[in-house]
């Protein structure tokens, strides 16, 4: 095991298991561990110095894009001609990603503190926490934490005796993957369909209610709270030079110990799968892995030593994404797996842009006939052609995400795709579909 | 924050009159009225289990938008129901991480046991099966939501037990009904 084996979890300190089992950190417990000291320090420093500090820390956004939070906050005008808003993206919906769930359910105050610091630094007095409706327990725990924080003078008017006022409210989704995209999330809070907006203007200039708006993932905000409390030097001492800090990797699929693993950025994929998640189930052979949710291209056996930071996966034309790692063993059929995911993107495409709406529909139809043994020669090449034509041609990236299971897989496993046509059936037994 | 003018327009709005305190609190959270739409739709669905055309019109009135705009949202967001559902909504996670752990077989088992397929409700009005996309609990696969409760690492035995608990009324129904739950 690498330099990561003595790492003690910070963000997920005290978190047990993926799903709530009756234990959520109380306000008293959180404060006893120094909770809200970061906010106190921020209030003493003033918004400009907080912004400088977060910029210096180089906290790259944990929601998938890796864009530095300080830079994002810095785009917000330094006046208050219009009200400013902070939206917390807790719409965790990327297949294979379940780290935000644990933090929401078990450490809600850490997220509230981070959101308040973001609001203070960006001259905002309003925070909306956008939680997907399916996260019922997370919503209960977050609402309880908001109520407790308000009763303790941490939310509302004159926070901690300062002149900083800030309200925090939950806005619930209703089952739409696209609302994790920041402009769709904004539309949704405005009471509309989650249609992504064209940029520019960026949300920092015209976001929620046409006002300057910051949208951050909850893990990014949790890190901001820790950085305010522990300092920039502490943060930069973890992870790699260009990807400082830690993240929570969610590992699922055919491994022996699936779960959330908080580690410094810079651990390798091989270490994650074999040292932390206990290797492949039933002594089976590894086949492929999605490194950052189902929307990024897969990695294969000879690529597992890739360092899982923001930049290294790019050399294989894939991304760290949501750090939702889905592992597949040798028994998995790629056509079947792609079909499963294509149903997801076909279902979740908002329908606004033609390449994405029609492209996901075409790919879904082709994969359905391939898996049913009714594919025709040329179908595999047609899939590749659509992948090339869907990317970068729509308002948001959903169409491109839909190609994640195909773009690197078809060139390397063309024979497996073609075999579905040549044999007129799926050649895999797919024992993993049997429900015991 | 805009005050609701209840003496005129909304005095005949049954939805508003039934949930005045809740709706006032929702409206107060946002600077514009239409932002209250999604939470108000949830309020309707928690009471009725689904959202009828009439409820959409009443919600439109409260949110100062058109019924067409309400229908846009109700049809866009997959968790809003446009027809009645069972007392227990079984939302099976069908996306890849669960599918790698037998989600297809789980669906087949439930479907055969209850004699219904996706989005259908049993004749006794007890169960609806829904296909849900990734529920974000992939390490615990296969999973499903039974109304608001997440059930993890499902087996045949667990499914049998859950269905039995529902039949015996040991679990909270999906919706409350206008005057408490109507069976």
User: Is pLDDT of A373 > 60?
Assistant: yes
- Indicate whether B183 pLDDT > 70: no
Distance from CA of A250 to the nearest CA of B (A): 8
Q: Most A CBs within 10 Å: which of B45, B101, B113, B139, as the mutation test of the A interface?
A: B139
Q: Are A232 and A124 in contact (CB under 8 A)?
A: no
Does A253 contact B138 at a Cβ distance shorter than 8 Å? Answer: yes
CB of B92 closer than 8 Å to CB of B103? yes
Q: Note the helical H segments in A33-123.
A: 37-45, 47-57, 69-74, 99-106, 108-121
Angstrom distance (rounded) from CA A251 to CA A277: 7
Residues in chain A within 8 Å Cβ distance of B38 = 171-174, 188, 191
Q: Which residues contact A150 (CB under 8 A, 6 or more apart)?
A: A156, A168
**CB distance A95–B96 less than 8 Å?**
yes
Q: How far is A18 from chain B (nearest CA, A)?
A: 7
Using CB atoms, pick whichever of B78, B137, B138 lies closest to residue A176: B78
pLDDT band for position B182 (cuts 50, 70, 90):
very low
CB atoms B134 and A254 under 8 Å: no
* ipTM associated with this complex: 0.96
- How many CB contacts within 8 angstroms connect chain A with chain B? 171
Nearest by CB to A259, from B39, B101, B139: name it: B139
Place of tokens 């079984």: B90
Which residue has 């769930």 as its token pair?
A101
Tens digits of residue pLDDT in A344-371 = 999 999 999 999 999 999 999 999 999 9
The reported pLDDT for the residue numbered A177 is: 97
Strand order in the sheet with B88-93: B127-132, B88-93, B144-146, B149-151
Is the pLDDT at B74 greater than 70? The verdict is yes
Nearest CA-CA distance, residue A211 and chain B, Å: 12
Nearest CA to CA, how far is A360 from chain B (Å)?
16
Strand A286-290 relative to strand A299-300, pairing? antiparallel
Residues of A in contact with B96 (CB under 8 A): 95-96, 253, 294, 326, 337, 340-341, 344
pTM, rounded to two decimals: 0.97
Residues of B in contact with A83 (CB under 8 A): 31
- Confirm or reject contact between A259 and chain B (CB < 8 A): yes
Which residue carries 């106190």 as its tokens? Answer: A40
Cα–Cα distance measured from residue B3 to residue A200, given in angstroms and rounded to the nearest whole number: 34
pLDDT per residue as tens digits for the range A197-244: 999 999 999 999 999 999 999 999 999 999 999 999 999 999 999 999
Edge-first strand listing for the sheet containing A324-329: A259-264, A246-253, A324-329, A286-290, A299-300
Chain B residues with CB under 8 Å of A433 CB are 99, 102, 104-105
User: How confident is the model over B106-155, as pLDDT tens digits?
Assistant: 999 999 999 999 999 999 999 999 999 999 999 999 999 999 999 999 99
**Residue of chain A nearest B97, judged by CA positions:** A253
Cα torsion angle, B28, B29, B34, B38, sign: negative
Say whether A95 and B109 touch across the interface (CB within 8 A).
Answer: no
Q: Which residues of A touch B34 (CB under 8 A)?
A: 190-192
The verdict on a CB contact (< 8 Å) between A190 and B34 is: yes
Residues A68-87: what's their mean pLDDT? 96
Percent of chain A scored above 70 by pLDDT?
99
Q: How far away is chain A from the Cα of B139, in angstroms, using its nearest Cα?
A: 5
Among the partner-chain residues A19, A251, A340, the one whose CB lies closest to the CB of B95 is A340
Distance from CA of B123 to the nearest CA of A (A): 26
**Interface probe with A: pick from B134, B147, B150, B155, most Cβ of A within 10 Å:** B134
Angle between helices B103-114 and B156-167 (to 10 degrees): 40
- Locate A33 and state its tokens: 């561990």
**What mean pLDDT do residues B61-73 have?**
97
How far lies A259's CA from each of A19, A105, A185, A327, B11, in Å?
10, 15, 27, 12, 52
The predicted-structure confidence for B3-54, as pLDDT tens digits, reads as follows: 665 556 799 999 999 999 999 999 999 999 999 999 999 999 999 999 999 9
pLDDT score, position A274: 98
B34:A192 CB<8 A: yes
- Residue from A22, A99, A106, A134 to probe the interface with B (highest B Cβ count within 10 Å): A134
All domains of chain B, ordered by start, with CATH? 9-76 (1.10.10.1590), 88-167 (3.40.30.10)
User: In terms of C-beta density within 10 A (0-12 exposed, 13-18 middle, 19 or more buried), how is residue A68 classed?
Assistant: middle
User: Can you tell me the mean pLDDT for A58-67?
Assistant: 93
How far B136 CA lies from chain A's nearest CA (Å)? 5
CB atoms within 10 A of CB A41: 16
Q: Show residues of chain A in contact with B138, CB under 8 Å.
A: 95-98, 250, 252-253, 258, 324, 326
Pairing of strands A324-329, A286-290: antiparallel
Q: How far is A373 from chain B (nearest CA, A)?
A: 19
Contact A326/B96, CB-based, under 8 Å? yes
pLDDT of B180 > 50? The answer is yes
Structure tokens given for B94? 């069908």
The answer to whether residues B113 and B162 touch, using CB atoms and an 8 Å cutoff, is no
Q: Do B149 and A136 touch (CB under 8 A)?
A: yes
For residue A167, the chain B residue with the least C-alpha distance is: B29
- From chain A residues 346-385, the ones with a CB under 8 A of any chain B CB are 347-348, 350
Contact A176 B76 (CB under 8 A): yes
Q: What would the mean pLDDT of A300-323 be, rounded to a whole number?
A: 97
Q: What is the average per-residue pLDDT within B98-111?
A: 97
Q: Which residue has the tokens 């609806």?
A: B128
Residue A420 confidence (pLDDT) above 80: yes
- Quote the CA–CA distance of A396 and B142 in Å, as a whole number: 30
CA distance A332 to chain B (A): 8
- Are the CB atoms for A166 and A124 separated by under 8 Å? yes
- Supply the pLDDT for residue A101: 97
A337 to chain B, any CB pair closer than 8 A? The answer is yes
- CA–chain centroid gap for A204, Å, is 20
The Cα–Cα gap between A96 and A141 comes to 22
At residue A379, does pLDDT exceed 80? yes
pLDDT (0 to 100) of residue A6: 86
Chain B contact for A293 (CB, 8 A cutoff): no
| Mean pLDDT, range A144-159, rounded to an integer | 98
Contacts of B92 in chain A (CB under 8 A): none
Instruction: Please tell me the predicted confidence (pLDDT) of residue A392.
Output: 87
- The answer to whether the peptide bond before residue B76 is cis (omega within 30 degrees of 0) is no
Q: Is A410 in contact with A383 (CB distance < 8 Å)?
A: yes
């Amino acid at each position: 095991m690498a330099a990561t084996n003595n790492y003690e979890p910070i963000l997920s300190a005290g978190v047990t298991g993926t799903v709530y089992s009756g234990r959520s950190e109380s306000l008293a417990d959180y404060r006893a561990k120094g909770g809200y000291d970061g906010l106190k320090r921020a209030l003493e420093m003033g918004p400009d110095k907080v912004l400088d500090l977060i910029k210096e820390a180089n906290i790259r956004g944990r929601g998938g894009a890796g864009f530095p939070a300080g830079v994002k906050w810095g785009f917000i005008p330094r006046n208050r001609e219009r009200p400013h808003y902070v939206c917390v993206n807790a719409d965790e919906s990327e297949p294979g990603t379940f780290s935000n769930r644990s933090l929401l359910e078990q450490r809600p105050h850490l997220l509230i503190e981070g959101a308040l610091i973001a609001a203070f630094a960006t001259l905002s007095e309003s925070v909306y926490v956008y939680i997907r409706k399916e996260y019922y327990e997370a919503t209960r725990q977050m609402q309880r934490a908001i109520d407790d924080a308000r009763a303790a003078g941490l939310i509302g008017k004159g926070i901690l005796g300062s002149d900083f006022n800030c309200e925090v409210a939950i806005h619930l989704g209703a089952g739409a993957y696209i609302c994790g995209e920041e402009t769709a999330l904004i539309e949704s809070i405005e009471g509309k369909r989650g249609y992504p907006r064209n940029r520019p203007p960026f949300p920092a200039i015209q976001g929620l209610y046409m006002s300057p708006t910051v949208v951050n993932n909850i893990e990014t905000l949790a890190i901001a709270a820790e950085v305010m409390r522990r300092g920039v030097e502490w943060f930069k001492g973890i992870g790699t030079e260009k990807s400082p800090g830690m993240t929570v990797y969610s590992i699922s699929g055919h491994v022996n110990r699936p779960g959330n693993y908080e580690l410094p950025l810079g651990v390798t994929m091989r270490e994650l799968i074999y040292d932390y998640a206990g290797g492949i189930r039933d002594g089976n052979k590894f086949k492929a892995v999605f490194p950052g949710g189902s929307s990024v291209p897969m990695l294969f056996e000879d690529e597992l030593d890739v360092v899982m930071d923001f930049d290294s996966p790019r050399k294989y034309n894939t991304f760290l994404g949501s750090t939702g790692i889905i592992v597949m063993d040798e028994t998995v059929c790629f056509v079947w797996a792609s079909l499963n995911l294509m149903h997801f993107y076909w279902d979740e495409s908002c329908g606004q842009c033609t390449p994405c709406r029609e492209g996901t529909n075409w790919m879904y139809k082709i994969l359905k006939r391939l898996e049913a043994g009714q594919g025709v020669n040329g179908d595999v090449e047609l899939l590749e052609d659509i992948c090339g034509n869907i990317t970068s041609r729509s308002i948001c990236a959903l169409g491109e995400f839909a190609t994640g299971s195909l773009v690197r897989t078809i060139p390397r496993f063309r024979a497996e795709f073609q075999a579905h046509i040549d044999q007129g059936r799926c050649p895999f037994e797919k024992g993993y579909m049997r429900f015991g | 924050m805009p005050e609701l003018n209840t003496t005129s327009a909304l005095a005949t709005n049954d939805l508003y009159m039934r949930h005045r305190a809740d709706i006032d609190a929702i409206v107060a959270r946002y600077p514009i009225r239409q932002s209250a739409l999604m939470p108000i739709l949830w309020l309707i669905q928690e009471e009725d289990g689904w959202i009828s055309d009439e409820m959409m019109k009443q919600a439109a009135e409260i949110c100062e938008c058109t019924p067409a705009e309400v229908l846009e949202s109700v049809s866009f967001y997959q968790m809003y129901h446009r027809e009645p559902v069972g007392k227990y909504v079984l939302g099976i996670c069908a996306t890849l991480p669960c599918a790698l752990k037998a989600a297809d077989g789980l669906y087949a088992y439930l479907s055969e046991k209850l004699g219904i397929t996706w989005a259908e409700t049993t004749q006794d009005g007890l169960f609806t099966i829904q296909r849900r996309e990734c529920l974000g609990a992939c390490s615990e696969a296969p999973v499903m939501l039974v109304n608001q409760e997440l059930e993890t690492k499902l087996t045949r035995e667990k499914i049998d037990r859950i269905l039995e608990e529902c039949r015996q009324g040991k679990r909270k129904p999906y919706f409350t009904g206008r005057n408490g739950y109507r069976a």
